Chain A
Amino acid sequence: MKKTAQIETGLTDAIVGFAQFARRRGLNAGMEETFSALKTFDLGLFSDMPVFYYSLKSLFCTRREDIPLFDELFKIYWLSEEDNVRRRSEQKISGIQNIPQRHNSLMFWGMKNKEERDAEEYDSRTTTGANTVARLQKTDFSRVSEMDATLLETLAEKLWREMLRRLRRRRKKNARRGQVDLRRTLRASLQQGGEPVYLRFKNKKPRKLRLVLLLDVSGSMDKYSFFLLRFVWALQSHFEQVESFIFSTRLHRITELLKTGGLEKTLRLLSERTEDWSSGTRIGECLKTFNEEHARHILARSACTIVLSDGLDTGEAGVLASEVQKLRRRTKRLAWLNPLKGTAGYAPTARGMSEALPFVDHFHAAHNLESLMELEELLASI
């Protein structure tokens, strides 16, 4: 350990420096944690390298996912051979972040420059009437023109917001009155000299809507995934207990990303992170990953699962069927939204879709706004 050679004040400084270093890289190393680290140092615990490492780890990490980053930073900061540790690590880290950006249709839709958008908004505003709104609600997402896209976004956001507000407020009617609320009954009884003449009741707490959303972002879904991602985002931001994933050849969890960044930021980050964005689909494999890695934790709390995919699976035959079956066993309700279902003459004969269908509780279209709004019924029944 390089720094132990220095005198004590040197180590104090080094610890503070490490905290700053770690904080800038996104770890939870605020004032309080730094202070705790220094206190630990005072306890004389840091003479031993592993103990030193474990202490800082338990202080600066707040979840399992932090651990690899912490290990990396720890290695860079404390175990580096060179004197100029700080500068070297800066370079290293910035090197990681400079990943070339990929652009695709989704990016263009999401991030037009401001002027362009303003012009369009002006354009669309001048032409918006009840007719346009009605037409747009029925327009297939894949046929929306560039010009309508922004308008549709605005409209969609408004409608979804209303729908989700209705859903949150909805309470199931309680035929029976709930349990007697002894606390309030007793309080009230004091007025009658302690005779519980009027009973007070309490209703059951309304259950929270728990959802898991699995969105297909493969090439065949390209046109739809942009709007559907917006939909996912709307659900995510209106309900507390929603977990979102995207998949094509691999599965990625995007819950945190959607929660912390806005939608725009998410889109940008996604295009950087997902190497296989808009490529082939291996639905079976991805569901397998979900079942193996996430289902046990996430579905343990009786959540409902919604898969948004066209069901065009290019993976091995049979995998999808067995994975959907496994998923069905774990989840409370399984819904499959397929944009292709809205197309006239569509029948779920594609191998992927026909494999999955026997295990799906609700099979819905998801090609335009109207079809997504129909989800309200489904969500309310959960």
Chain B
Amino acid sequence: MKFNADQITGIQPIIAGLERLGYILDQELATVVFLLLKLRKPLLVEGNAGIGKTELANMLARLLDTQLIRLQCYEGLDVNSAVYEWNYQKQLLGIRIQEGSNRSEEEKERHIFSEEYLLKRPLLQSISAIDQAPVLLIDEIDRTDEEFEAFLLELLSEFQITIPELGTVKARYIPYVVLTSNRTRELSDALRRRCLYHWVDYPSASKELAIVQKRFPDIEKKLAAQLVSFIQYLRAKKLQKTPGVSETLDWALSLMALGYRTLDVEAVERTLGCVLKSADDIRSVKEEGIASVLAGAS
């Protein structure tokens, strides 16, 4: 059954559709996704690392059976690597090749600044889709600087880009935009105002258990329950790096690969590195005593 964004009338098809793909979401997130599909406002998802923000966009693209275009933000990201760039090497060759021809200077220039020599970067790609609206994921927007954010703001309201040598490209299909942020920097109010907002928290124990079982249907029930309650216990502690859902899944996979059917002291000791990524945290948990943590968590 093909999922059609224009025809859905409630949030149930979204929950069901994404669950079929292995992504578990609650009513709140489903509502926000529904609004994203209907109102076509960009969705800003904030939350701690490793709780499935990026995955949401991935799954959304699969649900809509459309292309996912991803722009990974980093410090110093500039318009050239986000929007478009000319293929300079090819242009240089192009000039060489044209040397013998009797075209005028203007014609030559027009030739090497034609679409043939244009390298489309994610943002330009996202607005030049020809058959259906893609999902545009702008990942970790907080890592870019304010200038880029301002540029993005303009793009998100107009959905058009002007290339001086070529003209203006306007989106035929407005992309579904998902922005994620880890809050390393406060985003501008202007950008926030333009977006739907959703804060993702760590999942509850029952939801996390459902996620683990969805991802690894073969996992022993007991093991899954034990490791989820262990993780939940760790999250309640004040650690330097709180484990996210991705850590839970990594851990489940490692434990299964090592053939453990229940979680015991030895199993935890051998695999604690999957969950805790800081020497201080590992030390503090070991000091507390893994046996007592296990007892306290279950």
Interface, chain A (partner B; CB < 8 A): 28, 30, 32, 36, 39-40, 43-45, 50-51, 54-55, 57-59, 61-64, 66-67, 182-183, 185-186, 189-190, 193-194, 196, 205, 208, 240-241, 255-256, 291-292, 296-298, 300-301, 326
Contact = CB atoms under 8 A, between A and B. Distances in A.
Nearest to B195: A62
Report the contact-size class of chain B (Cβ under 8 Å from the partner). Answer: 35 or more
B192 A194 contact: no
Interface string B182-205: 111110010011011111000000
The 4 A-B residue pairs with the shortest CB-CB distance, nearest first, are A194-B95, A62-B192, A54-B31, A182-B88
A287 to B, nearest CB: 13
Interface in B1-51: 9-11, 27-28, 31-32, 34-35, 38-39, 41, 43, 46
A63 B46 CA distance: 8
Interface in B31-86: 31-32, 34-35, 38-39, 41, 43, 46, 75-76, 80, 85-86
Nearest to B184: A300
A297 B182 contact: yes
Interface of B: 9-11, 27-28, 31-32, 34-35, 38-39, 41, 43, 46, 75-76, 80, 85-86, 88, 91-92, 95-96, 98-99, 105, 108-109, 143, 145-146, 182-186, 189, 192-193, 195-199, 238, 240-241, 280
Nearest to B98: A194
29 contacts: A28-B192, A30-B193, A43-B34, A43-B38, A44-B10, A45-B34, A54-B31, A57-B28, A57-B197, A58-B43, A58-B196, A58-B198, A64-B199, A66-B197, A183-B85, A186-B91, A189-B92, A193-B95, A193-B99, A194-B95, A194-B96, A194-B98, A241-B185, A297-B183, A297-B184, A300-B182, A301-B75, A301-B143, A301-B185
Contacts of B238: 292
B183 A58 contact: no
A268 B89 CA distance: 61
Contacts, number: 107
Contacts of B92: 186, 189, 194, 196
